[in-house]
Amino acid sequence: MKINIAGAGHTGPVKNGVAEWLAYDAKLDKQKSALEKAIGIIKNNIRGSKNCNDAFKKLPGGRSFDDIFDDDKVWISYCPDKANYGFTNIVGGSEITVCEYAYMWGFWSVTGTIVHEMGHVNGAGTTDHSAEGTLLCCGLAKVHDPTIIGVRDTEPIYIA
């Protein structure tokens, strides 16, 4: 996965409703720092987890967590929306955006959002709990929300 930073030459998808895929620039240093911390947690604590990889392989895309994390075609962008945690451009897509709302709750929320959206990259639908359910197998039970079906519409149950 790559971070969409200013000057990277990456153009994210066009705005879709409130979802935007913007580059992290100098004005977003605080958010980029939280994102880098979240990616560090994923890299050091989740990547390589048999339980997490097995859970991801059961999703419709069939790829392991590590396969998606290591895929340079998957990009993470910024979304200024303050009502949603994140979006993926389409189920099975390769464009994740983490919204300001996730940053407002802290880096653990950002970490959970990334893993959830990676589930959508791997084919998890928007009408069931499969994307959010991966958090339980990936060591993120404290940010897992059992009420999420496709998208999170409630406050997180754990504030880091």
Per-residue pLDDT tens over the stretch 3-16: 999 999 999 999 99
Beta bridge partners of 16: 19
149 secondary structure, DSSP code: B
- Distance, CA of 160 to CA of 124 (rounded, Å): 26
Say whether pLDDT at 102 is over 90: yes
Say which amino acid occupies 150.
Answer: G
Q: Give the pLDDT band (50/70/90) at residue 150.
A: low
- Distance, CA of 63 to CA of 79 (rounded, Å): 26
Whether the model pTM is above 0.95: no
Q: Are 124 and 110 in contact (CB under 8 A)?
A: no
